[in-house]
């Protein structure tokens, strides 16, 4: 069984990972890079209590974490940026696309869904299962102070940190964070380990290419957005999953099968140990939109309803 301890893990060379088992909905990972009294944080967490606990653990391990100079948000989903307000005075960096998308997903949106959950039946119960363990009240959304496209480098003491935009994939503006001196890459949600990834944006080919780009970095340590620390094997597993779902969904699309029926029909035997299998609904829907040349944004309410139905099965 893969080791998956909770909390701050020392990766060596001034790199740390902060892990939140079991890596399911909202239980994201983060990272810290320190060198010569300077520090860079990769992502904050879904709510303020969790982010406070993480920052306290980092301060206990590294004096440089008492004043973090830079925060990189790997993408716009709240479990990677809702804690931004707690890193006062830091430069906040994200891709241009991620920064724009943040404005469309305020904490109040999730809070509203949870408050309405008792009236939403099965989908309401599913939303509570996914997000009911987080405290969205009182979060002040803080946006990036610097955005970029493509690639950006930052010096953290003697360490060079490479920010590489690889989206659209999981979301519109995914960024990975590479620390060459540590042979470590923080992938954000380009990687889910031991859980089904979820394709809010796509196209699937870009996501597969993002996995290949991570592999080309030849990192020894890969910290995914969710799940245990991995290496090239974890990257290849996500790449192969995406290719498999793409091929299976494409066959069903050309056979005229509706997207939800296709998602329910695709065998996931090789991925039976991975969590949140109902996310295949979102992945197939994204592939169907791509095949149809449909630029319509995903119907989030409808997709959560379909995931709830498939999870019940």
Average pLDDT, rounded, for the chain: 97
The number of folded domains in the chain is: 1
pLDDT tier at 43 (50, 70, 90 boundaries)? Answer: very high
Q: How many CB atoms lie within 10 A of CB 199?
A: 26
Q: Report d(CA 78, CA 136) in Å as an integer.
A: 10
Percent of the chain surpassing pLDDT 90: 99
* Cα Rg of the chain, angstroms: 19
Q: Report d(CA 181, CA 156) in Å as an integer.
A: 11
Of 178, 143, 184, 154, the residue nearest 164 (C-alpha): 178
pLDDT tens by residue, 26-37: 999 999 999 999
Residue 52 inside a domain? The answer is yes
Residue 39 inside a domain? The answer is yes
Residue 110 inside a domain? The answer is yes
Q: Report d(CA 28, CA 7) in Å as an integer.
A: 11
Residue 2 inside a domain? The answer is no
Residue 119 inside a domain? The answer is yes
pLDDT over 90 at 1, yes or no: no
pLDDT tier at 2 (50, 70, 90 boundaries)? Answer: low
Retrieve residue 191's tokens: 């990687």
Residue 1 inside a domain? The answer is no
Mention every residue, 6+ apart, whose C-beta is less than 8 A from residue 36: 157, 158
Residue 95 inside a domain? The answer is yes
Q: Across the beta sheet with 175-179, what order do the strands follow?
A: 151-156, 159-165, 175-179, 184-186, 221-223
CATH label of the domain that carries residue 268: 3.60.15.10
Q: Which domain, by its residues, includes 63?
A: 7-312
Model's pTM, two decimal places?
Answer: 0.97
């Amino acid at each position: 069984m893969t080791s998956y301890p909770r909390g701050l893990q020392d990766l060596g060379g001034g790199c740390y990972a902060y892990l939140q088992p079991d890596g399911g909905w909202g239980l994201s990972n983060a990272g810290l890079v320190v060198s010569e009294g300077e520090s860079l944080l990769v992502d904050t967490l879904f709510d303020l209590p969790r982010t406070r606990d993480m920052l306290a653990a980092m301060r206990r391990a590294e004096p440089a974490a008492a004043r973090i100079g830079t925060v990189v948000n790997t993408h716009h989903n709240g479990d990677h940026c809702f804690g931004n307000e707690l890193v006062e005075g830091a430069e906040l960096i994200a891709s241009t696309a991620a920064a724009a998308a943040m404005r469309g997903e305020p904490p109040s949106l999730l809070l509203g869904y949870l408050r309405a959950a008792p009236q939403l039946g099965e989908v309401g119960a599913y939303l509570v299962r996914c997000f009911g363990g987080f405290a969205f009240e009182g979060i002040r959304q803080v946006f990036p102070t610097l955005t970029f496209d493509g690639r950006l480098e930052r010096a953290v003491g003697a360490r060079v940190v490479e920010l590489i935009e690889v989206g659209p994939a999981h979301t519109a503006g995914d960024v990975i964070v590479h620390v060459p001196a540590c042979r470590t890459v923080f992938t954000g949600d380009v990687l889910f380990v031991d859980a089904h990834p979820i394709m809010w944006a796509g196209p699937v080919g870009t996501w597969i290419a993002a996995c290949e780009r991570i592999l080309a970095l030849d990192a020894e340590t890969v910290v995914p957005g969710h799940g245990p620390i991995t290496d090239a094997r974890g990257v290849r597993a996500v790449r192969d999953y995406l290719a498999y779902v793409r091929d299976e969904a494409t066959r069903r699309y050309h056979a005229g099968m509706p997207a939800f029926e296709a998602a329910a029909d695709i065998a996931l035997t090789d991925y039976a140990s991975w969590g949140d299998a109902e996310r295949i609904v979102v992945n197939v829907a994204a592939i169907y939109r791509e095949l149809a040349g449909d630029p319509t944004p995903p119907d989030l309410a409808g997709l959560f309803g379909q995931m709830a139905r498939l999870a019940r099965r």
